[in-house]
Chains A and B, each alone.
Chain A
Amino acid sequence: MPESKVYFFPNEPLVALLGNPNCGKTALFNLLTGSRQKVANYSGVTVERKEGRLTLASGKNIRVLDLPGAYSLYPRSLDERVTCNVLLGRAEGEKRPDLVICILSAMNLRRNLRLVLAAKRLGLPCIVVLNMLDIAKRQGLQIDTAALSLELGLPVLTSVGIHSDGADEIKYFLSNLDWRHLSAFQTGTSDATLENTASHIAHAESDNIQVQKILQTLKLDQIIPDHLSDRLDAVLLHPVFGPMILVTLLFFIFQAVFSWATLPMDLIKAAVEFLGTQITAVLPNTWLRSLLINGILAGLGGVIIFLPQILILFFFILLLEESGYLPRAAYLLDRLMGSVGLSGRSFIPLLSSFACAIPGIMATRSISNSRDRLVTILIAPMMTCSARLPVYALLISAFIPERSLWGLIDLQGLVLFLLYLAGILGAMGVAWILKHFTSAQFRMNALMMELPSYHLPRIGNLAMSLWQRAEIFLRRVGGIILIMTLALWALSSFPLPPEGATGSAIQYSFAGMLGQGLAYIFSPIGFNWQISIALVPGMAAREVVVSSLATVYALSTSSADAAEALVPLISASWSLATALSLLAWFVFAPQCLSTIAAVKRETGGWKIPIIMLSYLFALAYLASFITYHIAILLGLN
């Protein structure tokens, strides 16, 4: 017998917000629930679930659910499937909503009204909210809400998502509502079935005719052009200037990510070190102290330090998204991405991966084509994430002379740029190869991306989204990353070195043994056993390799100046060929464990992470092998 789960739901009524993408639903959700939001995932799928609480003037509490945006109730993407399942009461662990609020963009009634008709058919109590009424009025659009209400047979409210009091009419309506008699807003029978293809096509046609009739009755069947967006697009999507503006913008964002983050990153580092010295002063030199300092503090600190960069990058991504520019960037890049078998939609996840692959991999959820999503996940780790920077910085300052080429280009900077470029080219190459392994049927990757009107981003909405990103990241750090860090600490600390041992402690640990074994594998690409050992704890987070090298070389310095102390040491003991080979290794290097955990979560199994791990390992090995042997041929040994 199949196991059946019983779920208990809170008593408060559940109100679901339903609407097309870009109808201003999330802004309204923010107005209704303020900061009382909870962001999680729907059970079993990686679709973001946003729920909030609203206390009505009557003192009653209700739960508000922000459903993923949907164009129709015939599910085509993961997001739309979740929306349908929730409305049908079929989503696991989810109560069927008591009331559906259909949010319409007053600027696009035609398409939005079709969704209302589909929602009515579900037999759930429905009310309609006309959003963006301010823009519509400004454009000379007069909407007779009473007539619309009559046509639909449902209450029609109005709202302005960008004003702080823009949702007051909804709140007022909800507080005067008789929650025991919602069936007044219920039309038709409660046939809670998912539309099949045939009924969907039939409904699509009849709905279209009905919407056309409603619009004619309301005298709204003419189209109002959006002059401001058209004028902006004339420049921003210009075939020549458009890409130039995009490149400039990306360049500026990268500059900001690295320069603005310096101060908060230094502060986090200082705080972690301060904690370390405090613990050292209080606790005796035992394994507990090592666990706290070398395990928890070093591991978590090493990941949290990237929070400022991730937040700055996300700030820009959210800003571009809210303003309506981001889909246009994807539009501009679609040809380029199309040449390697992807679509413009992969651009946003790949951009995020430059800060950290984890938010990048999470951002692939917006790609509706599952094949494209998988390829994007597979290549995302090749974008140079900021965790590689400390390693690059160490090796470049130790081995690449500080001089300029032709008096113009800084050689060290050039090498860094080439490393970034190598990652991008590697990713494009892999996508290109995968394109040839995809059958023509799956290659039909649609673009079909909406380019919404431009509008000024709202600071409040930006701040809220940014806070939610930070929360998700920190929760991950506290969970899986902490466990892995602890496991690696145990591996590199036990067994303890024997009495009178001369080498560093890590040499005698499991990690040390593993590293010495790995040295056989890595000697053809020029890595010595010290590097091989350091690569093991480096799996927690790449930049840990720097402090691990310091540990292996038995430096007694704290991690802060590990890099400084290492520079003369490794530049004296490694050949240039080894250094270049290690740089090449890090361009492709197999992922940190947290990335692998993220991929496993997002793809729902071990298959994809294992494929990713093995192909990146092979690629890294190959690249290092070629680099090492060419370097030796050039006499750089």
Chain B
Amino acid sequence: MKLDQVELGALYRVNEVNAPKGAPQIKGQLEDIGFLPGEQVSVLRKGLFGKGPYMVRVGASTFALRQSEARMISVESLSRA
């Protein structure tokens, strides 16, 4: 599952980050701010009509991400696992 499809407020775990071919540096950028495999993540808030930017909590910090950035992050559900 990608981070842009998750349920609001539910807990997930980061699996991996896949950057698009045109911008490979984004992977490292997302990892630097905390989107590392195993890290806890949840989407707290979306913009009007469910579009971006998203307010995402990763670990103990909160970031604003665009929908396109959220789509690069694969996650798995923590609540059901």
Q: Are A447 and B66 in contact, CB atoms less than 8 angstroms apart?
A: yes
A453 neighbours in B (Cβ, 8 Å)? 62
Docked-complex contact B62 and A451, CB < 8 angstroms: yes
Task: Output the nearest chain B residue to A106 by Cβ-Cβ distance.
Answer: B60
Across the A-B interface, the 7 shortest Cβ-Cβ residue pairs: A239-B48, A444-B23, A71-B32, A72-B32, A108-B60, A331-B64, A451-B62
A324-343 contacts to B, CB under 8 A, are: 327, 330-331, 334-335, 338, 343
Known contacts A76-B25, A110-B60; 5 additional CB pairs below 8 A are: A111-B61, A204-B36, A224-B60, A441-B23, A444-B22
B1 at the A interface (CB under 8 A) = no
Instruction: Report Cα–Cα, A72/B31, bound state, in Å.
Output: 10
- A208 partner residues in chain B, CB cutoff 8 A: 36-38
* A450 is an interface residue with CB less than 8 A from chain B: yes
Give the residues in chain A near B32, CB-CB below 8 Å: 71-72, 74, 76, 204
User: Is residue B33 contacting chain A, with contact meaning CB distance below 8 A?
Assistant: yes
Q: Say whether A212 faces chain B, with CB atoms less than 8 Å apart.
A: yes
A108/B29 contact (C-beta < 8 A), A334-B66, A446-B66 known: no
CB <8 Å contact, B47 and A447:
no
30 contacts between A and B (CB under 8 A): A22-B61, A76-B25, A76-B32, A108-B61, A110-B39, A204-B28, A204-B36, A205-B36, A208-B36, A223-B40, A233-B45, A233-B55, A237-B55, A240-B48, A334-B64, A335-B47, A335-B52, A444-B22, A444-B26, A444-B68, A446-B66, A446-B69, A447-B53, A448-B63, A450-B33, A450-B61, A451-B62, A451-B64, A452-B61, A452-B62
Q: Known contacts A74-B32, A331-B55; is A441 also within 8 Å of B62 by CB? A: no
Q: Are A233 and B44 in contact (CB under 8 A)?
A: yes
| Complex CA–CA separation, A239 to B49 (angstroms) | 9
B binding-site residues for A, Cβ under 8 Å: 20, 22-23, 25-26, 28-34, 36-40, 44-45, 47-48, 51-53, 55, 59-66, 68-69
Q: Does A448 lie within 8 Å of B60, measured CB to CB?
A: no
- In angstroms, Cα B45 to Cα A71, docked, is 24
Q: Is the CB of A334 within 8 A of B22?
A: no
- Which B residues are CB-close (under 8 A) to A449? 63-64
Query: A467 to B53, alpha carbons, bound, how many Å?
Result: 35
Let me know if A286 is at the binding interface, CB within 8 A.
Answer: no
**In the complex, are the beta carbons of A335 and B60 less than 8 A apart?**
no
**CB-based contact B52/A334 at 8 Å:** yes
- The CA-CA distance from A448 to B56 in the complex, in Å, is 10
Measured between C-beta atoms, what is the minimum distance from A245 to chain B in Å?
15
Measured in the bound complex, the distance between the Cα atoms of B52 and A532 in whole Å is: 48
Q: What residues of chain A lie closer than 8 Å to B38, measured between beta carbons?
A: 208, 212
CB pair A200–B26 under 8 Å, yes or no, is no
Shortest distance in angstroms between A602's beta carbon and chain B's nearest beta carbon?
23
B63:A451 contact, CB within 8 angstroms: yes
**Contact string against B for A residues 424-458, beta-carbon threshold 8 Å, 1 for contact and 0 otherwise:** 00000000000000001100101111111100000
In chain A, residues 68-85, which have Cβ atoms closer than 8 Å to a Cβ of chain B? Answer: 71-72, 74, 76
- Across the two chains, which residue of chain A brings its CB closest to B22? A441
Interchain CB contact under 8 A, A71 and B33? yes
